Structure 1
Amino acid sequence: MELAEQLRYLILAAERQGGRMLQSALSKESITGSQAEVLRVLEERGPLSLKELGFLLICEGGSPSRLVNTLVQEGYIIRDTHPKDSRAVILRLSDKGVEKSKRVTLVEQELYTMISRKIDKDKLESINQILCELLSEEPIASSLQARGFMK
């Protein structure tokens, strides 16, 4: 087996397992990992246009229209008319969305604490550096940089 192939499958397995762990932790909130990311990005960076939000999301490529529509229907996001362009909308969290995002933050922190218990800080820094090197010239790098996950 090639080392590069092993790395590919280990990354895939880690991503899938991490997704399962997050989804399990979020199940009590009745929200998906992707929906949680939308709420967190809007809490941290909002209000945003749909295009701006889509650029910042790591969970999904392309337009997050369906994700946003679901969150609007659930009452977590409010669509406002863009102040400079009446044809465009700006997305922001409702009070309900802010509360849900705060609960999501707590769930994420529990997951990050668990990961930090399994892998010491020096190893986490090394893994993160290696993954940054792997992704540095990929299109997703600009979104990761904008979110502060890469330099």
Structure 2
Amino acid sequence: MSKPTETSSELLERLQHQVALFARRAEQTRLGGVGKARNSMDRAAYLLLNRLDREGPMGVKALAESMGIDSSTVTRQVAPLVDTGLVKRTSHPDDGRAVVLAVSPRGRGRLDEVRDSRRRLMAEVTDGWTPDEREVFTDLLVRFNTALADWHAGLGRGDDEVPAAAEGAPRTAGAFESQGNTQGA
């Protein structure tokens, strides 16, 4: 027996509701993982450390641009990471006057713990799924996050219009979170 065809409006209603539920449940669990590392690192810290680990040392401005957020936000979020020894400030290798941020050995260790904890949570939540179902869900989530990042960057943004995918438009920096980060956020 086949499922009755939903109208576009009905389908979008279900989608927006499921996204709202997902956001609430993600916040409830904070997708913080399982075990002792659960909820031991907030989302901002995780995303900053993850970016620095993946892309290497960089200045505040470059880090902000790569994440699609304001430099003042990065400065504010990085300060406690420096204070706790998870991030270190060093001189730029080419310009000793400039400062770059890098993940410290302690930060890398904590990041590895949190990544492992989050992977275990994803394994538990999707325990009854086939590998193909996990892959399809991940691919669709990457696509959704990329479209949402593009929308936030202003590609097709408007009060009375449905965001349009900009054909051939460059991906925003925020898209990296969804495309390159297979280890969770």
TM interval, shorter chain, is: 0.7 to 0.9
Shift of 1:40: 1.5
Q: Does residue 1:18 correspond to 2:31, yes or no?
A: no
Task: Tell me the C-alpha RMSD between the 2 structures.
Answer: 3.2
- Cα shift at 1:52: 2.3
Residue 52 to residue 9, structure 1, CA distance change in 2 (3 Å): farther
Q: 1:74 and 1:142, CA in 2 relative to 1: closer, same or farther beyond 3 A?
A: same
| Identity %, equivalent residues | 22
Q: Deviations over 1:60-99 (max 9, x none)?
A: x323111100100011101112234455321101111111
1:94 maps to a residue whose letter is: S
The Cα of 1:127 is off from its aligned counterpart by 3.4
* C-alpha spacing 1:21/1:81, structure 2 compared with 1 (3 Å): same
Runs of 4+ residues deviating >6 angstroms: none
Report the counterpart of residue 62 of structure 1 in structure 2.
Answer: 70
3-state SS in 1 of match to 2:93: coil
AA of the residue aligned to 1:18 = A
Deviation at 1:57, TM superposition (A): 3.2
Between the aligned partners of 1:28 and 1:11, the Cα distance in structure 2 is 28
Counterpart position of 1:34: 44
Shift of 1:27: 8.9
Task: For structure 2, list consecutive stretches of 5 or more residues without a partner in the other structure.
Answer: 1-8, 155-170, 181-185
CA distance in 1, matches of 2:138, 2:104: 36
Structure 1 gap ranges (5+): none
Question: How far apart, CA to CA, are the structure 1 residues paired with 2:87 and 2:146?
Answer: 35
| Counterpart for residue 142 of structure 1 | 172
Provide the C-alpha distance between the structure 1 equivalents of 2:92 and 2:172, rounded to a whole number of angstroms: 25
**Amino acid paired to 1:13:** L
Which is richer in helix?
A: 1
Give the Cα separation in 2 of the matches to 1:36 and 1:26.
15
Instruction: Summarize the Cα distance change of 1:25–1:147 in structure 2 as closer, same or farther, 3 Å threshold.
Output: closer
Which residues of 2 match residues 45-124 of structure 1 at below 5 A? 45-57=55-67, 61-63=69-71, 64-117=74-127, 120-121=133-134, 123-124=136-137
Distance 2:88 2:110 in 1: 14
